[in-house]
């Protein structure tokens, strides 16, 4: 049966209390949520996504006060970050307490936690006496959903409900920070600029964000991928090289005379925030066209441009 689409947090809450799966809006992307303390419900998330059980889930909480229920140690920098950036696109990976099911954390001794910033989901979380485990609401490895329609198309038959909160505002997944050996470390570039984090707590360790070790979070070399081949570089030059129909994902320019079937411009005015918000919609739109290639260009390597480039790099990995 197809998922019920609702705008009512109360209705979503009742489905979740019964152990159901609900796609929830956040400011970053849609999540596929279940009661984090209900192992049966959490197991259904992995099944619906086709997600391997070694990939841990993020736990969503109503506010920072709920942290101490789930984690043993909150490092001083983590406390600062939570105070400044929650609710918001930041996930903190911290040593977990025993009550967090091993399935949620893929057996790790840590748990990823965040307070999402979307009015419907904040209302929903306030109605529940349990946190929500939620990965992005897409089949494993595919581009994350930024609208309820994206969720319905791919997972609509496998989940119970979709809480419709419109198109997501940030459009990129949260930035993930962990504390191996107590040292603040970037695990995944995302919706909160690393510059903002460093302005608050000083330089981050970046080693994990550039490794392709799957035990590092969100860091599978190939991920966030459309089904068409993604090539990155100068679209005009790439266009002259390819031997089959193609589309272009550009930052600002229209690339008029390249012969592209379609050009999706992320932000004509060159605004990185707008580009981030439209990135996944662009990849999905072009992926649906009768083309063999998606030619994309790098964005400026700063702020959200870094997170966008990270997603493009993974989308293009073989």
Q: Tell me the closest approach of the beta carbon of residue 32 to ligand TXA, in angstroms.
A: 8
Full DSSP string of 100-168: S-HHHHTT-SEEEEE----HHHHHHHHH-SS-EE--BSSSTTSPPP-SHHHHHHHHTTTSSEEE---S-
Binding partner of residue 147 among Mg ion, ligand TXA, none, CB cut-off 5 to 8 Å per kind: none
| Residue nearest ligand TXA, Cβ-based | 217
Nearest distance, CB of residue 209 and ligand TXA, angstroms = 12
Residue 174 or 250: which CB sits closer to ligand TXA? 174
State in angstroms the smallest separation of the CB of 199 from ligand TXA. Answer: 21
Residue that is written with structure tokens 């266009």 in the block: 239
Find the residue with minimal CB distance to Mg ion: 136
In whole angstroms, give the CA distance from residue 50 to residue 108: 20
Report which DSSP code applies to 181. G
Pairwise CA distance, residues 233 & 231, whole Å:
7
Q: What is the DSSP string of 241-253?
A: H-SS-EEEEESS-
Question: Would you count residue 225 as binding Mg ion (CB under 5 A)?
Answer: no
Residue from 136, 267, 277, 309 binding Mg ion (CB under 5 A):
136
Cβ contact 308:213 at 8 Å: no
55 contact, one of Mg ion, ligand TXA, none, CB 5-8 Å limit per kind: ligand TXA
* Binding site partner of 77, from ligand TXA, Mg ion, none, Cβ cut-off 5-8 A by kind: none
Residues that bind ligand TXA (CB under 6 A): 26, 28-29, 31, 55-58, 89, 91, 93, 105, 108, 110-112, 116, 134-136, 173-174, 176, 187, 217-218
Spatial contact of 245 and 237, defined as CB atoms under 8 Å apart: no
- Using CB under 5 A as the binding criterion, the count of chain residues that bind Mg ion stands at 1
Residue nearer to ligand TXA on the CB measure, 168 or 316: 168
Q: How far is the CB of 94 from ligand TXA (least distance, A)?
A: 8
Find out whether 138 and 154 touch, Cβ atoms under 8 Å: yes
How many other β-carbons are positioned within 10 Å of the β-carbon of residue 119?
A: 12
262 binds, among ligand TXA, Mg ion, none (CB under 5 to 8 A by kind): none
* Least distance in angstroms from the C-beta of 287 to Mg ion: 16
| H or E stretch at 229 | strand 229-232
> Prior bond to 87 cis, omega within 30?
yes
Q: Shortest gap between Cβ of 105 and ligand TXA (angstroms)?
A: 5
Distance from the Cα of residue 71 to its chain's centroid? 22
Give min distance, CB of 122 to ligand TXA, in A: 13
Q: Which is nearer to Mg ion, 306 or 311 (CB)?
A: 311
Residues that bind Mg ion (CB under 5 A): 136
């Amino acid at each position: 049966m197809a998922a019920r689409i609702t705008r009512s947090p109360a209705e979503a809450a009742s489905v979740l209390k019964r152990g159901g799966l609900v796609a929830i809006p956040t400011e970053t992307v849609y999540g596929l949520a279940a009661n984090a303390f209900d192992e049966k419900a959490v197991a259904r998330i992995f099944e619906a996504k086709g997600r391997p059980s070694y990939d841990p889930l993020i736990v969503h909480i109503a506010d920072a006060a709920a942290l101490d229920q789930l984690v043993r140690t909150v490092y001083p920098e983590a406390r600062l970050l939570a105070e400044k950036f929650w609710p918001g696109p930041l996930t903190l990976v911290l040593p977990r307490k025993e009550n967090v099911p091993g399935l949620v954390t893929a057996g790790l001794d840590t748990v990823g936690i965040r307070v999402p910033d979307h009015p419907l989901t904040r209302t929903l979380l306030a109605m529940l006496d349990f946190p929500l485990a939620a990965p992005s609401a897409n089949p494993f490895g595919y581009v994350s959903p930024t609208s309820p329609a994206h969720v319905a198309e791919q997972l609509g038959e496998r989940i119970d409900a979709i809480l419709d909160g419109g198109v997501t505002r940030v459009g990129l997944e949260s930035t993930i920070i962990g504390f191996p050996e107590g040292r603040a470390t970037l695990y995944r570039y995302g919706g909160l600029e690393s510059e903002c984090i460093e302005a608050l707590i000083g330089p981050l360790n970046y080693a994990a964000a550039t490794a392709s070790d799957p035990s590092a979070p969100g860091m599978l070399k190939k991920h966030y991928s459309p089904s068409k081949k993604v090539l990155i570089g100068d679209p005009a030059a790439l266009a002259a090289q390819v031997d089959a129909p193609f589309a272009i994902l550009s930052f600002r320019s229209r690339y008029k005379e390249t012969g592209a079937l379609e050009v999706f411009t992320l932000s004509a005015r060159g605004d990185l925030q707008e580009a981030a918000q439209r990135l996944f919609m662009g990849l999905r739109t072009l992926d649906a066209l009768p083309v063999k290639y998606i030619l994309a260009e790098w964005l400026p390597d700063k702020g959200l441009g870094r997170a966008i480039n990270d997603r493009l790099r993974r989308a293009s990995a073989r």
